[in-house]
Structure 1
Amino acid sequence: MNTIIYFIRHAESVFVEGAERERGLTEKGKRDTTIIRDILKDEQIDEFVSSPYKRAVDTIQLLADTANRPIRIEEDLRERQLSAVDLGKDRFFEAKRRAFEEPDYVFPGGESSNEAQHRAIAVISRLLQRHNGKKIAIGTHGDIMTLMLKHYDKTYGFDFWKSTTMPDIYRLEFDPSNRLTGVTRRWK
């Protein structure tokens, strides 16, 4: 039996400088959680896991409540810290592009793509082992989601990251040997 993982990128949240972990959802983001629930409520999801960031947890909370399941927090699914210094809005996209294209490059105080990918994939590997043949929903972020997908398929990168929305849903299917066999976008 195949294992299904739903990567659910968090809904819209208000950027608050210095509150990366605590910032919640906007009113639109809150409304979008109902759409997420409606899209996935009949999937019979067995396990709910999330980044520790409030916006990721809040995005899947209604779905988890509907399934009557708790959300387990995984610190290593947190968003990648690009840099500890403000790169500025004018340099943000170029910095993201460089981080994806040069996976070992680290901006000051940040984390390389390879470092972030390695910690997140360790979580995914454990989930695939523990929940083989089950369905797992993961509350995640655009950058780390892209890096996890890139681990399985090198075509995922900056352009994919740029094309994702808040929220977004991707259904990943793994065969019994935990080989990725398909990715389908489920968001509208």
Structure 2
Amino acid sequence: MNGIPDSARLPISPATTAKAGPNRGWARPGGESMRQLSGRATAILTQLAQRHRGGTVVIGSHGTFISRALIGFGCREVDWAFHRAMPMPAIYRLAFEDSGVRATGPGLAE
């Protein structure tokens, strides 16, 4: 995806989260930082919402993508503990509104 080989992708974990630091800009050589993943996740979800305005889009993905998308859309509750506690399947609803994106689902404030 986006020219980044699977072997270079960095799963979220306490060790990689600590290594990434507070700005989440760290990535192993040729890899993707958590900040880059947040940008990629929010961009593709926003594009899909615009393409299907007024409709419903269902997306399945892994927890790291979902967590970083939620962070990118401003969900402050999302951290390592949140990520580890995500149910399987983790189902979150994103409502794209003129005022921004509203996210609801397990572990998020209503």
Normalized against structure 1, the TM-score is what?
0.45
Provide the alpha-carbon RMSD of the alignment: 2.8
**What does residue range 18-167 of structure 1 map to in structure 2 within 5 Å?**
75=1, 81-82=9-10, 92-99=13-20, 101-155=22-76, 156-167=78-89
Partner of 1:12: none
TM-superposed deviation, 1:81: 1.1
- Comparing 152-161 with 111-120, greater Cα deviation is found at 152-161
Distance 1:130 1:100 in 2: 35
Identity %: 28
Q: What are the ranges of 5 or more consecutive residues in structure 2 without an aligned counterpart? A: none
Q: Which has the higher contact order (CA 8 A, sep 6+)?
A: 1
Indicate conservation of the 8 Å contact 2:92/2:103, yes or no: no
CA shift, 1:109, in A, is 4.4
Q: Which has the higher strand share?
A: 1
Q: Which amino acid aligns with 2:14?
A: F
Moved over 4 A (4+): none
One-letter code aligned to 1:162: R
Listed as ranges, the gaps of 5+ residues in structure 1 are 1-74, 84-91
